[in-house]
């Protein structure tokens, strides 16, 4: 029977149930939900007004922000070029190259943002798939899962570890140290990588994805040429007048005048008789344009990619990241051409090219876009829009190559934390500041690198989680769970806790899963009269195991478009992996963190 619930406890329970429901539904983004929850417990008097924003100064929040900035500095240092060259020399065997990729992304994820580590190596993986005529779906999901596994190994590898480390300080005086997660995490990385390389990749459906480049983004399917006759109404008018005349969303991506071909012409370029315009349009728009403007249809058989790019204009494919500025917006509402110098040529979603009026199609995380852009402004545009270039790009991004300097700064912060000279939030904030001062990244890049929705989530939910404890709600929940747990061995209770956290992280953000489960884990441990450490480790591991859905972690979302995956593809490799994590993880936790 549930004991008497006080009004403050009832309010906190109600808020948390609503938060969980909203997280799962996805109706509002998790940062909005977190702030609503924070305001709810503040307005009702559960959290004092002078403490309402204390969560934003919590060590976990500061650490997450600092680690993200340092990760961006490492990316800007030029690591990707070095990695690409090294991997190319490893072997000509696809399986050896795949093994090298997943090991590297797991290693990097232990010391930098998971998504950042994946973003560094994803273009390399797609290039390998191109050269070996392999579907990228076979490589990209193991790469994403490896980034999650690698994050388990260190304190800074993933936000759940940082949260659990600081939470432990409430019980054992000292938070978990930098490498306290390594014994369990390293063992699970080995188990996970061996499974994925020997068995897991065989369970992934062969999707066309980004690998079917010639089919998905075949030029003749979305571009055509029209001839401007002497009698055309467009003669003498700027290119920008085309859509006003025909009332269409046609885009001119190139112009041929005599023997000269010019990609991405200016909207103010005047059209002359005899010009051949390379246009992106669907069949209905094209027909309307030809009729209204008096044009002659030439066709698209002679078109090639070389007609769409030059030294000043790049043609490349990009993927829309989670929380990208593009997400939920359209090319028309953003005015991509005027504001960013970008022409949108095609969109692919889950391995299929979208038709219809692209300018009015809302972008989603994971979409693969074929764009034409001015090279001078492209790096800044990509960073601002939150999109990542895929394989085949000719563009070198980032600051001048200062790998040694970046690694020295990072190594110093790592050493200061590991030796106990400075708290992790101080050492990595210092490292982020030094990287800005020495020019590894600009102030703008530093602010852009911070995942602000995650910061808002943490700052909002941490006081709510603390309210669960201060009102006695966590103890009340633990007492009810102990009625069942007392009938079981503590190890079995740990298994249930680990599995429950796993499934929660598959439907809500992993940081939120850790914040919600940590107080319950601590209450169970105290009720059973055992150490809190193995139960907190169980939550840390479970929160990093979002292997069943593309929405559980940003890494999973990032590869969905380039790999052509569908929602139901993830559990095929992910469910056995989660089972292996439980089978191997519980003994490892109990060995290194005994009850």
Q: Taking residues 3-24, what's their average pLDDT?
A: 82
Alpha-helical runs (H) found in 529-569: 533-543, 554-563
pLDDT band of residue 307 (cuts 50, 70, 90) is: low
Sort 77 into a burial class: Cβ within 10 Å, 0-12 / 13-18 / 19+. Answer: buried
- pLDDT higher than 80, residue 285: no
The predicted pLDDT at position 350 comes to 67
The predicted pLDDT at position 79 comes to 63
- pLDDT higher than 90, residue 582: yes
- pLDDT higher than 80, residue 549: yes
The predicted pLDDT at position 592 comes to 93
Q: Taking residues 408-433, what's their average pLDDT?
A: 87
pLDDT band of residue 192 (cuts 50, 70, 90) is: very high
- pLDDT higher than 70, residue 85: no
Q: Smallest Cα–Cα separation from 108: which of 127, 98, 126, 121?
A: 121
The predicted pLDDT at position 177 comes to 85
Distance from C-alpha of 378 to C-alpha of 387, rounded to nearest angstrom: 11
Q: Taking residues 550-565, what's their average pLDDT?
A: 79
Instruction: Tell me the CA distances in angstroms from 135 to 96, 119, 174, 200, 572, one per residue in order.
Output: 16, 18, 47, 15, 17
Instruction: Tell me the CA distances in angstroms from 468 to 23, 31, 178, 358, 531, one per residue in order.
Output: 18, 19, 28, 47, 21
Q: Which of 236-240, 296-300, 493-497 ranks highest by mean pLDDT?
A: 493-497
Residue 557's region, left for phi above 0, alpha for psi from -120 to 50, else beta, is alpha
Residue 151's region, left for phi above 0, alpha for psi from -120 to 50, else beta, is alpha
Sort 12 into a burial class: Cβ within 10 Å, 0-12 / 13-18 / 19+. Answer: buried
Q: How many beta carbons lie within 10 A of that of residue 373, not counting itself?
A: 24
Q: Smallest Cα–Cα separation from 595: which of 487, 493, 483, 481?
A: 493
pLDDT band of residue 542 (cuts 50, 70, 90) is: very high
| Tokens representing residue 589 in the block | 């936790």
The angle formed by the CA atoms of residues 332, 336 and 338, to the nearest 5 degrees, is: 105
Q: What is the CA radius of gyration of the chain?
A: 26
Reduced 3-state DSSP string for 91-144? CCCHHHHHHHHHHHHHHHHCCCCHHHHHHHHHHHHHHHHHHHCCCCHHHHHHHH
Distance from C-alpha of 588 to C-alpha of 499, rounded to nearest angstrom: 15
Greater confidence (465 vs 542) lies with: 542
Q: Smallest Cα–Cα separation from 464: which of 140, 151, 49, 47?
A: 47
The predicted pLDDT at position 239 comes to 78
Q: Are 289 and 248 in contact (CB under 8 A)?
A: yes
Mean pLDDT score of the chain = 80
Contacts of 315 (CB under 8 A, 6+ apart): 263, 305, 308, 309, 345, 370, 371, 372
| Tokens representing residue 329 in the block | 């917006």
- pLDDT higher than 90, residue 181: yes
Greater confidence (317 vs 542) lies with: 542
pLDDT band of residue 183 (cuts 50, 70, 90) is: very high
Q: Are 361 and 354 in contact (CB under 8 A)?
A: yes
Contacts of 190 (CB under 8 A, 6+ apart): none
- pLDDT higher than 50, residue 492: yes
pLDDT above 90 covers a percentage of the chain that reads: 13
Q: Taking residues 527-543, what's their average pLDDT?
A: 90
| pLDDT tens digits, one per residue of 329-371 | 888 788 887 788 788 877 877 667 776 677 778 888 778 888 8
- pLDDT higher than 80, residue 12: yes
- pLDDT higher than 60, residue 1: no
Q: Taking residues 488-510, what's their average pLDDT?
A: 86
**Host H or E run for residue 234:** none
The predicted pLDDT at position 172 comes to 63
| Tokens representing residue 487 in the block | 């009938």
| pLDDT tens digits, one per residue of 239-283 | 777 777 766 677 777 788 877 777 778 777 888 888 888 777 766
Q: Taking residues 106-110, what's their average pLDDT?
A: 88
The predicted pLDDT at position 242 comes to 77
Domain 214-308 - what CATH class? Answer: alpha beta
Residue 29's region, left for phi above 0, alpha for psi from -120 to 50, else beta, is beta
For 318-389, CATH gives: 3.30.70.1450
Q: Taking residues 119-123, what's their average pLDDT?
A: 76
Greater confidence (221 vs 215) lies with: 221
pLDDT above 70 covers a percentage of the chain that reads: 88
The predicted pLDDT at position 206 comes to 73
The predicted pLDDT at position 396 comes to 44
| Tokens representing residue 551 in the block | 């929405």
Distance from C-alpha of 579 to C-alpha of 595, rounded to nearest angstrom: 22
The predicted pLDDT at position 541 comes to 94
The predicted pLDDT at position 392 comes to 45
Q: How many beta carbons lie within 10 A of that of residue 587, not counting itself?
A: 12
- The segment(s) of the chain belonging to CATH 3.30.70.1450 are 214-308, 318-389
The residue to which tokens 């939910």 are assigned: 461
Reduced 3-state DSSP string for 32-92? HHHHHHHHHHHHCCCCCHHHCCHHHHCHHHHHHHHHHHHHHHHHHCCHHHHHHHHHHHHCC
CA dihedral 43, 46, 51, 53 (to 10 degrees): -60
Q: Taking residues 101-111, what's their average pLDDT?
A: 87
The predicted pLDDT at position 590 comes to 93
The phi and psi torsions of 269 (rounded to 5 degrees) equal -65, 130
Contacts of 372 (CB under 8 A, 6+ apart): 253, 263, 264, 308, 309, 313, 314, 315, 342, 343, 345
| Tokens representing residue 93 in the block | 């065997």
The predicted pLDDT at position 587 comes to 94
Q: Are 444 and 454 in contact (CB under 8 A)?
A: no
DSSP state of 327: B
Q: Smallest Cα–Cα separation from 124: which of 137, 145, 140?
A: 140
pLDDT band of residue 400 (cuts 50, 70, 90) is: very low
């Amino acid at each position: 029977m549930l004991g008497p619930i006080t009004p403050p406890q009832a309010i906190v329970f109600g808020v948390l149930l609503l938060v969980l429901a909203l997280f799962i539904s996805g109706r509002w983004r998790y940062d909005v939900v977190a702030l609503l929850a924070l305001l709810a417990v503040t307005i009702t008097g559960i959290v004092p007004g002078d403490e309402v924003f204390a969560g934003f100064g919590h060590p976990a929040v500061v650490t997450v922000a600092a680690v993200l900035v340092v990760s961006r500095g490492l990316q800007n240092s030029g690591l990707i070029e070095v990695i690409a060259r090294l991997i190319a020399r490893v072997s000509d065997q696809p399986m050896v190259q795949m093994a090298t990729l997943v090991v590297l992304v797991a290693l990097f994820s232990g010391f930098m943002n998971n998504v950042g580590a994946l973003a560094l190596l994803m273009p390399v993986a797609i290039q390998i798939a191109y050269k070996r005529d392999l579907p990228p779906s076979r490589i990209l999901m193991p790469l994403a899962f490896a980034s999650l596994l690698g994050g388990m190994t260190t304190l800074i590898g993933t936000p759940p570890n940082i949260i659990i480390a600081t939470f432990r300080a409430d019980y054992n005086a000292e938070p978990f140290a930098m490498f306290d997660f390594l014994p369990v995490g390293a063992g699970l990385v080995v188990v996970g990588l061996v499974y994925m390389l020997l068995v897991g990749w065989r369970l992934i459906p062969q999707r066309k994805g980004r690998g079917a480049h010639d089919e998905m983004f075949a030029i003749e399917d979305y571009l055509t040429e029209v001839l401007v006759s002497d009698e055309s109404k467009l003669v003498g008018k700027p290119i920008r007048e085309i859509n006003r005349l025909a009332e269409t969303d046609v885009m001119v991506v190139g112009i041929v005048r005599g023997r000269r071909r010019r990609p991405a012409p200016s909207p103010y370029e005047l059209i002359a008789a005899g010009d051949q315009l390379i246009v992106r349009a669907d069949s209905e728009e094209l027909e309307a344009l030809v009729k209204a403007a008096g044009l002659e249809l030439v066709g698209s058989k002679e078109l090639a990619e070389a007609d769409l790019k030059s030294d000043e204009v790049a043609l490349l494919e990009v993927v829309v990241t989670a929380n990208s500025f593009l997400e939920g917006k359209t090319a028309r509402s953003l005015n991509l051409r005027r504001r960013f110098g970008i022409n949108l040529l095609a969109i692919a979603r889950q391995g299929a090219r979208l038709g219809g009026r692209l300018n009015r199609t809302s972008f989603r995380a994971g979409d693969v876009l074929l764009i034409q852009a001015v090279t001078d402004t492209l790096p800044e545009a990509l960073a601002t829009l939150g999109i990542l270039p895929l394989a085949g790009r000719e563009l070198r991004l980032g600051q001048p190559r200062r790998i040694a300097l970046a690694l020295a700064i990072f190594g110093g912060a790592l050493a200061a934390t590991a030796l106990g000279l400075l708290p992790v939030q101080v050492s990595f904030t210092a490292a982020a500041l030094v990287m800005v001062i020495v020019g590894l990244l600009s102030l703008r890049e530093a602010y852009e690198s911070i995942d602000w929705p995650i910061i808002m989530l943490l700052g909002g939910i941490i006081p709510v989680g603390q309210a669960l404890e201060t009102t006695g709600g966590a103890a009340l929940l633990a007492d009810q769970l102990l009625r069942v747990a007392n009938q079981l061995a503590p190890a079995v209770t740990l298994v249930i806790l680990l599995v429950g956290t796993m499934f929660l992280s598959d439907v809500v953000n992993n940081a939120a899963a850790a914040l919600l489960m940590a107080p319950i884990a601590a209450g169970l441990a105290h009720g059973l009269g055992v150490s809190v450490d193995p139960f907190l480790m169980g939550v840390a591991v479970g929160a990093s195991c979002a292997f069943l859905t593309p929405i559980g972690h940003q890494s999973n979302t990032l590869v969905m478009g380039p790999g052509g995956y569908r929602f139901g593809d993830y559990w095929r490799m992910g469910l056995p992996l989660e089972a292996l994590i439980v089978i191997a993880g519980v003994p490892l936790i109990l060995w290194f963190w005994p009850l």
